Structures are given as C-alpha cells and as structure tokens.
C-alpha cells in the first residue's frame, strides 16, 4: 500500500472518530438543555396553577364545606387549568385525578413542599416529567398539586437527529480525505521522482 493511501486512510478514520465524538457530545448537551428548559417551564406552570388554585380556594371558603363539595369544587378548579395534566392530593393521598396515570406514592419526601419537587421517570418508551408542590394557602398546608407531562418528544427528536449527524460526520470525513489525498499527492510527488 502506498504511503499516500495510508496517510489518507488513517487521517480520515481519525477525523471521522473525532467528528462522531464531538457530535455525540453536542447531542448530549442539546438534549440536557432541552430537558432543563422543559423542567423549568413545567415548574413555572405548576407554580402558577398552584398559586391560582390556592387563592381561589381560600377566597371561596370551600375548605369549610364537606368532602363531596370540596372535591367537586377542586375538580372544577383543575378543569380550568387543564385537568388532564394535574392531580390534586390531600395529605399525600389522591383527591382529584383526571390524568391518564395512576398515582402510586409520593415517596418519603411526598409532594407537600413549598419548593417544587421534580422527577423525570422512564415508563416503557415514554419519559414523564412529574413535578409537584404544596398549594400555598394561609389556612392549611394539606393540599398538593402534581403535574404529569409526557416529554418523550424531546428524546424522540434527539434520536431523529442521529442519522443527520452521522451523515454530516461522514461527509466531513470524506471531504477531508479527498482534500488530504490531493494535498498528499502534490507533496509526495517529488519523493516519488527520487
């Protein structure tokens, strides 16, 4: 095998590996960025909904009524804020759940904190953003709001970009190999004459 061919093959292989590694790092960083943005957006939506529900529940005086009336009123409030994503807990047990998911347990920490607690849970091929916090009310801290959102689209978009990234890496490596072949041919021509 000629020296020129060896140089081109080794350099092309190294360039391809470097471009794959840098592309993988870029994809990972992009995925983490989108994940972080989605979590921050979900936390903001949850906080706004919890604050609004807390204000409306206290101003209505619903806490003084019976359980059936309270449950109906809280369902009405959840319907105003997209009930398909939220579930309401009273003392860490489900009061209203109109989501497609079954609430099992809040864990040791529960969801009754002033700060939003966030979990990304993998369920089969789906990834769920689960965040929860207490509903701020002056009269009680017994109520919590939990938001469940399917964020699988972020990961599916990343998987769809892999073939594009591989094609870019391959094209860049082949272009570099062609240029290196031309350059090596011109540089090594005087050595061949000797």
Domain ranges of the chain: 3-189
Nearest to residue 112, comparing CAs of 130, 127, 93, 134? 134
Q: What is the DSSP letter of 151?
A: -
pLDDT at 55 over 70: yes
What's the CA gap between 26 and 94, in Å, rounded? 41
Q: Give pLDDT tens digits for 111-140.
A: 777 888 888 988 888 999 999 998 888 888
pLDDT at residue 131, as a whole number: 92
pLDDT at 64 over 90: no
Q: Which CATH class is domain 3-189?
A: alpha beta
pLDDT at residue 1, as a whole number: 64
């Amino acid at each position: 095998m000629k020296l020129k061919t060896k140089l081109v093959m080794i350099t092309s292989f190294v360039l391809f590996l470097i471009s794959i590694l840098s592309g993988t790092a870029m994809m990972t960083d992009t995925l983490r960025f989108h994940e972080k943005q989605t979590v921050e957006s979900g936390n903001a939506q949850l906080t706004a909904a919890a604050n609004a529900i807390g204000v409306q529940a206290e101003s209505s005086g619903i806490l003084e009524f019976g359980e059936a009336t309270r449950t109906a009123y809280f369902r009405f409030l959840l319907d105003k804020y997209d009930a398909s994503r939220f579930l309401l807990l009273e003392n860490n047990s489900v009061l209203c759940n109109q989501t497609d998911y079954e609430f099992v347990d809040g864990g040791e920490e529960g969801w009754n904190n002033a700060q939003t607690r966030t979990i990304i849970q993998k369920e089969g091929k789906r990834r769920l953003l689960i965040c929860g916090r207490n509903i701020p009310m002056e009269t009680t801290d017994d109520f919590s709001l939990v938001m469940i959102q399917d964020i699988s689209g972020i990961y599916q978009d990343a998987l769809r970009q892999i073939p594009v990234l591989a094609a870019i890496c391959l094209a860049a490596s082949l272009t570099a190999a062609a240029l290196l072949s031309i350059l090596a041919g011109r540089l090594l021509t005087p050595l061949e004459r000797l």
